[in-house]
Structure 1
């Protein structure tokens, strides 16, 4: 957790009871997509929220002034902003309006922190594009639960990427084009769908029956041998991925999860 604006605070989490000293054993791995920006000028509230986010597996950064928000979110859009409405420098409603007006940040979810009596601010904040609000005083654990719920909803609403990449291979799902090392590779419709499916579900083992159901459709009446034929053709047409498409004996196939594990090319 990092803090910007105002007097720097210790990056150590606040003191907690012994049974809270360690994060849960099911903590998720943290990546940049899980960064939560906490904009709150009360240091005690900000640190407590950041600590609960850390326990839940989220990285966090604290800002104490509304005027510092837009430069940061434009440079590195966070996964979500927890935004107090009463801020020095620039109030939270104005910040919310700016986040929604900027094309680069318009999709960033916002949870607003409001005083219990500020019904008008809550309504205006939601109308400006806030995704949820929590009234003070609040439970930090409830706030973190709302963070998770808003993030799940936002990710469900995101359109799937039109470009899928794995190693030297790029799949353009909009134009149904495949390139390898920048060169076009001609695939049949089913080969294309099979490759796309494997990349989107990399690291998972798929039985032939599952591949027939998900790629060919439940009404397909051919035998599972057709899966083997299409896998062989993908390996032939995309030799750079031949070693990455792994046969799981007596079961099916998988595409390795990490590009770093791609076999060395001659």
Structure 2
């Protein structure tokens, strides 16, 4: 009788221990900082695939840091510290509800596992991109990976752009970018959210750096066109897993997205 009671007690204690481990594991689930999640592909966006395919709420389950756009191409996305901001064509910035749809984005759970350090005296956006590439050269020296970077600091000059929502039939993105709304800010504090893709994904995404900006008071932002960094802090991480969710629309199914649209990409990226 005593042995049976002891055996039963051990079973109860073991069950309690397993329950604690399972619940504790759920509470401390490790975030995947090594995966870049992408919604749709760049060439589809360039050709006018602007209908959202996942919600902001779903996107935030994939990462806490990212960039992209919104349903009908309405504004530029900045996902920072788990909050999604929409930089609109009228120059305002608003927080976005979880029900809003997303046609194109990339996101990850950010971790500065490559480099951290001070930045200062970068005269323009090209100097900034060059410094980011130099950081990669000095650490991993692997330009076949994907990278995310956060640059937070003081900017003497920033120029951003955004575009308004579109109506069907959707024009190509290069035609819309020709009439993009641009805004310049002087002496502003803020954060650049930057992603770097390798050359071999050309057409699936944009090779090299893609940068969005958000002011520290979350009142100004957009797709970054120009930047002069007075003083800032760089944090950078890499990702070696790449996942893409494709649209299921009939318009995407009929698109010829295998064409080289590099010229249109450059037109979209530049200052008007």
TM norm. shorter chain > 0.5? no
TM-score, normalised relative to structure 1: 0.20
Structure with the bigger RCO (C-alpha within 8 Å, sep 6+) is: 2
Normalized per residue, which structure has more helix?
Answer: 1
Normalized per residue, which structure has more strand?
Answer: 2
TM-score, normalised relative to structure 2: 0.20
Q: Which has the larger radius of gyration?
A: 1
